Amino acid sequence: MKPTIISWNMRGLNDYRKRLRVKNLIQKWSAAVIYFQETKQKLVNQTIVNSLWSCQCVGWIELVSKEASGGIIIMWNRRLEEMVDHYVGEFMVACRFKCVDDRFEWALAGIYGPNVDYWRVFTAVGMLHGVSGGDFNITRFPSEQVGDNYFSHAMNTFSDLIF
């Protein structure tokens, strides 16, 4: 089975009305795994998770925000996906999942932060078949930055990572 994944830059989830709108959309889209970035949540608990997803068998892991930025929540339907392993770093959350029906293993890395050595982290969670998403805070080409005319080492490293 191919898992259905929602990835969403929230720009904050502190407003209950916003969480209710998000919950209605998630229910409509019926995903197996949901990844939120830039949640700006300093606390994530069962109440917050229930206000985002009406799934009765929800699992979650989070990286709470620092001050007024950041924050990652990865939630999954435990009837469809089993979390095998995880890693929570300063700017990312990575999870290795196993599909309940066919036991296929895959991984998801949610990133929000500066360009760091992601490949090391991906291999640490066994990300052989995986998805990475988020705000990497790096560009691939000089044309994507104002006043930049050369390829930096970070651009080359990022391009190597994603292709």
Q: How far apart are the first and last CA of the chain?
A: 24
3-class state of residue 99 by DSSP: strand
| Six-digit token string for 24 | 């209605």
pTM of this prediction? 0.78
The CA R_g of the chain, rounded to the nearest whole Å, is 16
Strands 130-135 and 105-112: parallel
Angle at 89 between CA 119 and CA 78, to 5 degrees: 95
* Phi/psi of residue 61, nearest 5 degrees: -145, 145
Q: Is the pLDDT higher at 139 or at 13?
A: 13
Q: Does domain 5-162 have CATH number 3.60.10.10?
A: yes
Task: Give Cα 106 to chain centroid, integer Å.
Answer: 14
Per-residue pLDDT tens for 10-29? 888 989 999 999 999 999 98
Which sequence spans correspond to the domains of the chain?
Answer: 5-162
pLDDT at residue 47 tops 90? yes
